Amino acid sequence: VELGAGLGLLSCTAALLGSKSVFCTDGDGCTLKMAKRNAEALIAANPDLSPINVRLLRWGQGDEATVIPGGHADVIVASDVLYVLGNPGAWGALLRTLLSLSGPETLIFLTYTDRGHGKYFEKFRARASAHFHIIESPPHLLHPTCDPNHVDRIEKTSGVVRIFCLSLKQKLETAADLVV
């Protein structure tokens, strides 16, 4: 599942890499129309690929179950979605959506680019850590253009790109689940 897909680049890439099912979501209907056209063009050129399911999803609205019929995502990707300062509830809504779409085996890959709102991100990260294990990818493993000072970087005005992997913390159902 791709959240905040925009034009659907990650969804198209997932299909090209052999994902069995791909769900491309965004909360903006106009943007989603462009993502759908991109997905349709890719599938038309590569008919053996799994279909890309393009769906409207507004975070935290409770309609996450309509995105993945019958279950949780294996992988969730959300690239460059943590920037909405004009909508202070968006990050909480994103967290609710991640929780709804996650199961015990789900891996979430989330990017964050600092554009001057690091304190909001740290609040989001603290809230998320109550529910998820969070590991940051070490900078030396990232592509060199993630560094804002790299000569080949296109977007020169934003900060360092950071990538996080999240997995749901297991909840103990009863005291009998405790291992002593």
User: Residues 134-176: pLDDT tens digits?
Assistant: 999 987 777 776 666 777 766 666 677 889 999 999 865 554 5
> Quick one: the chain helix, strand, coil %, rounded to 5?
35, 20, 45
Which residues touch 109 (CB under 8 Å, ≥6 apart)? 75, 76, 77, 78, 79, 163, 164, 165
Residue closest to 60 by CA, chosen among 86, 90, 23, 18 = 90
Give the C-alpha separation, 102 to 82, whole Å: 19
Q: Cβ atoms within 10 A of the Cβ of 133, count?
A: 12
pLDDT value of position 156: 60
Inter-residue contact 28 to 55 (CB < 8 Å)? no
User: Residues 45-55: pLDDT tens digits?
Assistant: 999 999 999 99
Predicted model pTM: 0.86
Mean pLDDT of the chain: 86
Residue closest to 67 by CA, chosen among 30, 32, 111 = 32
Give the C-alpha separation, 78 to 160, whole Å: 17
pLDDT value of position 180: 44
Q: Cβ atoms within 10 A of the Cβ of 94, count?
A: 21
- Residue 126: φ, ψ to 5°: -65, -45
